[in-house]
Amino acid sequence: MIPERNQMTDCGLEYEQQLTWIATLNEMMKEGPRIILRLPKIRQTILAHPEPLRWYSFRTKEMEMLELIDMNRRTLDMDIEKDVIMQATLRRQLEIVLDVSQRMIMKGGREYFLLNVCSVC
């Protein structure tokens, strides 16, 4: 916390209210990324349309595995031009980026977001 920006003292909460607020924030931090399921519209969307989330999660995991393979090969000083595995890995990463980009365009994604597809996958 930044003492000069302490919102608890600035908002005038009673001591018990501050304790409740702290407990809620601690609970939310422990919950981690699942905290997003507390938002009713997001929870409804995930429950009503789980397939896009599964599809995207699979692409994300595949991209992460490919990046790990690529990092491992680079650590071993493999030549990108000659290493068949690195070439296949890079080719598959490009396929995933194009696949995600096409799906985003079909679903009405915005162009500025397409620039972040590589980092999102």
**How do residues 17-27 score in pLDDT, each as one tens digit?**
888 888 988 88
What is residue 108's three-state secondary structure?
A: coil
Does residue 65 fall inside a structural domain? yes
Cα 67 to Cα 39: distance, rounded to the nearest angstrom? 32
> Token pair for residue 74?
């680079």
55 in the same domain as 31: no
Does residue 26 fall inside a structural domain? yes
101, pLDDT greater than 70: yes
114 in the same domain as 67: yes
Count of structural domains, the chain: 2
Does residue 110 fall inside a structural domain? yes
pTM score: 0.56
> What is the average pLDDT score of the chain?
81
Cα 112 to Cα 121: distance, rounded to the nearest angstrom? 15
Cα 54 to Cα 44: distance, rounded to the nearest angstrom? 15
Domain hosting residue 32, numbered range: 3-38
Confidence of residue 10 (pLDDT cuts 50, 70, 90): low
Confidence of residue 72 (pLDDT cuts 50, 70, 90): very high
